[in-house]
Structure 1
Amino acid sequence: MGNSVASKHVDIIGFPMDLGADRRGVDMGPSALRIANIQTRLEDLGYKVTDLGDIFIKNQERQVIKNPRLKYLDEIVKTCEVLARRVEKSLSAGRFPLCLGGDHSMAIGSISGIAAHCKKNNLEMGLIWIDAHADMNTDETTPSGNIHGMSVAALLGLGNNSLTNLYGFSPKIKPENTILIGLRSVDRLERELIKKSGVEVYTMTEIDRKGINFIINKVLKNLKQKVQHIHVSFDIDSIDPTIAPGVGTPVSGGLSYREAHLLMETIAECGCMSSLEVAEVNPIIDTKNRTAELTAELIASSLGLRIL
């Protein structure tokens, strides 16, 4: 598998982005995760960790919205390109990029960098997207104009050209190598796009019926046969808000504490994850940094922390 976690050198990249969402505060996600000792937790697992700091993003007060259907498009595109370059550089140095968000528009940047790396090295890329939302809107279907709800669509090549062609090529991912897990809040027009797109979807209903263990094992088994680089994009709102209250857009009925850990532990056991990002941690609406603490635990789980 590509340069998966075997590289044992993790690059932390902070992306304090809150322009893709309506509710403020997710720009403090990277700081909250550092306060939750993410670096020490990984060093305790035997990783060498380099914190590359945060990418600079102009805040909302310093900008105007030019298009209400694509809010803050220019700054999101500009900063996502910086992130793409940084992620690609990390991978080409044989390291494991861990991106800390920020809202989920971050994925347009991080995954563009991964896709570029895979292209150059002739690797097939698979995406496991863990989220309460599908993020499959375009500027035509969006009810809000928030770009964090367009990330998957943009990466598949659907929607506005500035987003789809970010980093100079499109699409970044193939629908048959894209798996969405944990969905429970989907917009009406978005539903049509999901069905047409051909991505694989496991809603919370299916997780309730079949169990997270069955689903993630099946997903990993299938992906491992087709791809050499697996990227996991983890939106913390996939977890139930009773456990993870500090997220950008909470939706009740999410993954339980144990389901989230089992999911990440199973990914770790597979040894096939080559990059990871966590999005939407919002300390402003959190309780005593609880959500960031949980997120840091889950990152550790995905990188090999075991109970025994």
Structure 2
Amino acid sequence: MSKQTIALVGAPTDIGAGHRGASMGPEALRVAMIGERLRRRGFDVTDRGNLHGPLNPWQPPTDGYRHLPEVAAWNQAVHEGIYGELSQGRLPIMLGGDHCLAIGSVSAVARHCREQGRKLRVLWLDAHTDFNTALGTPTGNIHGMPVACLCGNGPAELTGIGGHVPAVEPKVFRQIGIRSVDDPEKKLVREAGMDVFDMRHIDEVGMKRTMEEALAGIDADTHLHVSFDVDFLDPSIAPGVGTTVRGGPNYREAQLCMEMIADTGRLGSLDIVELNPAYDKRNATAKLAVDLVESLFGKSTLIR
């Protein structure tokens, strides 16, 4: 069997965020040697460079959305880029960029799964549920809305990316590490029946049981997509994000999470988003993210 080929796809924009700087995320991950570290693990890694899209105009919201045309353009580029890699049999890693870009990546993975007749499971590792809409958002920042848009709840420019509305059903998501949800959003998440493993759940039953629950039912016919928002991690270990929320998983919990995903052998695609070098200390958050990604691709502490 030939080596699995990984394709790194940069999406350098903070178009959907409330702080500037996530546009520098792809370069920070490259500086932290993401490609080299995965090559050392025996993968064939190709860096596709960066996708292109409009500059961030940094304008206030229009009708409840900030930068909607630009967000749509970036997500269309991401959709095509990620779908192209999957079609060639490669495992794409999107180097973000802010989390609005998951509209493009997850819709591409969903399209690929529909064509291949495979089931999709999305692990959403995040401090936030990202299920906001124009009605509930206090900011209009679209990085708080990708899950809602993917589930068909949002503007047509975003829900229609990939040509299938909704791109996915809420039941494909398992959200892990959640600890900050706006009040109107809570109602929407409950109504959608989303599986949310918040920090209280992790505190009560531990990361091991949480991951067993989140990974239950995955089989050989399942494509597993991980959308890793770096603000999933506790800010004491990962300061380099725009929206820090205290009380996230610590280093060991995050490692266990990644190792248990790796154990499934089903990882098919990955987003790394919301890394913001402007808030970081000597690229420490990028290095930590790369360390965790190595675990996601099978590095474990002991020989098992």
User: Same-fold call, TM > 0.5?
Assistant: yes
Flag structure 1 segments of 5+ consecutive residues without an equivalent.
Answer: 1-5
CA positional deviation for 1:222? 2.5
2-structure distance, mates of 1:161, 1:56: 22
Q: Do structure 1's residue 223 and structure 2's residue 218 form an aligned pair?
A: yes
1:187-211 deviation per Cα after TM superposition (whole angstroms, max 9, x unaligned): 0000000000011010000000100
Quick one: distance in 2 between partners of 1:64 and 1:256?
A: 36
The separation in 1 between residues aligned to 2:158 and 2:77, in whole angstroms, is 14
**In the alignment, what sits opposite 2:296?**
302
Distance 1:286 1:242, change over 3 A: same
Give the equivalent residue in structure 2 for 1:109.
104
Cα distance in 2 for partners of 1:58, 1:159 equals 21
Count, aligned residues: 301
What is the identity, as a one-letter code, of the residue corresponding to 1:284?
A
One of 129, 142, 150 as aligned partner of 1:147: 142
Deviation at 1:223, TM superposition (A): 3.4
Shift of residue 8 of structure 1?
Answer: 1.1
Check if 1:214 corresponds to 2:201. no
The residue aligned with 1:130 is 125
* Structure 2 residue corresponding to 1:157, chosen from 134, 152, 161: 152
Residues 227-278 of structure 1: CA distance to partner in whole angstroms, max 9, x if unpaired?
A: 6211010111010000000012000000101111110011111111111111
Residue 265 (structure 2) aligned to one of 243, 249, 271: 271
Q: 1:241 aligns with which of 220, 224, 235?
A: 235
Q: Render the CA deviation track for 1:109-165: whole Å, top value 9, x for unaligned.
A: 101111111111112211110100000001111111000000000001112221111
Match of 2:12 in 1: 16
Deviations 1:57-99 (A, max 9, x none): 32224x7556151111111111211111111111111110011
Maintained 8 Å contact 2:131/2:144? yes
Residue 223 and residue 140 in structure 1: after superposition, are their counterparts in 2 closer, same or farther (change >3 A)?
A: farther
Q: Give secondary structure in 1 for the equivalent of 2:228.
A: strand
Structure 2 match to 1:185: 180
Q: Does 1:51 align with 2:50?
A: no
Q: TM-score, normalised by structure 2?
A: 0.96
> Which consecutive unaligned segments of at least 5 residues does structure 2 have?
none
Residue of structure 2 in register with 1:176 after alignment: 171
Deviation at 1:180, TM superposition (A): 0.6
User: After the TM superposition, which segments of 4 or more aligned residues of structure 1 sit over 4 Å from their partners?
Assistant: 63-66
Match of 1:3 in 2: none
CA RMSD of aligned residues (A): 1.5
